[in-house]
Amino acid sequence: MQMDTVKTLATTALPVMEAFYTIQGEGYHQGKAAYFIRLAGCNVGCVWCDVKESWDAEKHPVLNVSDIVKEAAKHPGRLAIVTGGEPLMYNCEPLTDALHAAGFQTNIETSGSYPLTGEWDWICVSPKKFKAPLPEILPLADELKVVIFNKSDFDWAEKYAAKVNSRCKLYLQPEWEKSPVVTPLIVEYIKEHPEWEFSLQIHKYIHVP
């Protein structure tokens, strides 16, 4: 197969673990109706990841971008959230172009560990210790969402908060399994550092995807 053909296939079709219409459960857009497109494939390797089944892209179907957007458009909401895995492992420009053409607002949730592709209306960077975000990604973030696993993560969060733009929203989110332990720590930290806000995974409380 010619290299140009391979590149075309790679940009017009993407491995999709799952796609579903639900309520955004966390961060700035919490509570809004949203269509999630979870791309498969990730080499960041967070030990506490709750979608480890997304890591191996070869286990999931490769779908044409047109078909992905056609399914999204069946629902009344026009907020599309592209997540993973790590969605920036792929060229997302054809996907965002097609979503915009269908009237969607495009949001991405990324670790920031790959170069940015696509036209995004909202960029959420959630940095991970296992694969650091690229320096050029951080100033582009509209939202910085840091998962707190232990007390030392607060200093780590501040490291990246110093690298985003002044308009970026800052969120601290408890790691789900350690929530009873770290939630009180986050509350006290935000009281002392009011530039941060609390991100709660409400979808896990109201039992939606």
State yes or no: pLDDT of 9 exceeds 50.
no
Q: Note the pTM of the prediction, 2 decimals.
A: 0.90
Residue 55: which pLDDT band, with cuts at 50, 70 and 90?
Answer: low
Alpha helices in the chain (DSSP H): 3-12, 65-72, 93-101, 153-161, 179-192, 202-206
At 169 the three-state DSSP class reads strand
Q: Does 10 score more than 90 pLDDT?
A: no
Contacts 24+ apart (CB under 8 A), 56-61: 57/15, 57/85, 57/89, 58/15, 60/15, 60/16, 60/17, 61/15, 61/16
Q: Are 109 and 81 in contact (CB under 8 A)?
A: yes
The pLDDT assigned to 176 comes to 87
8 Å CB contact between 144 and 168: yes
- Which residues, 6 or more positions from 56, have their beta carbon under 8 angstroms from its beta carbon? 40, 41
Least trusted range by pLDDT, from 81-85, 119-123, 154-158, 202-206: 202-206
Average pLDDT, integer, range 115-139:
94
- pLDDT > 70? residue 7: no
Q: Which is nearest to 198 in space by CA: 180, 181, 183?
A: 183
DSSP 65-89: HHHHHHHHTTSS--EEEEESS-GGG
Q: Which CATH number goes with the domain that contains 120?
A: 3.20.20.70
The mean pLDDT value for 151-173 works out to 96
Q: Average pLDDT in the 51-67 region?
A: 81
Q: Indicate if the pLDDT at residue 57 is higher than 50.
A: yes
Per the rule left: phi > 0, alpha: psi between -120 and 50, beta: everything else, 101 is alpha
Of the candidates 45, 46, 44, 27, the residue with the CA atom closest to the CA atom of residue 36: 27
* Residue 128 pLDDT class (50, 70, 90 cuts): confident
Task: Return the minimum-mean-pLDDT range out of 101-115, 126-140, 186-200.
Answer: 126-140
Mean pLDDT score across all residues of the chain: 90
**Tokens, residue 22:** 């639900």
Q: Find the domain containing 154 and state its range.
A: 3-206
Angstrom distance (rounded) from CA 71 to CA 48: 30
Q: What is the pLDDT of residue 6?
A: 34
Total domains in the fold of the chain: 1
Please determine, for residue 30, whether its predicted confidence score (pLDDT) is greater than 60.
Answer: yes
Average pLDDT score over residue span 94-102: 97
Determine how many CB atoms are found less than 10 A away from the CB of residue 205: 9
User: Percent of the chain having pLDDT more than 70?
Assistant: 89
CA 100-106-107 angle, to 5 degrees, is: 175
* pLDDT, tens digit (0-9, with 9 covering 90-100), for 31-46: 999 999 999 988 766 6
- Cβ contact 119:96 at 8 Å: yes
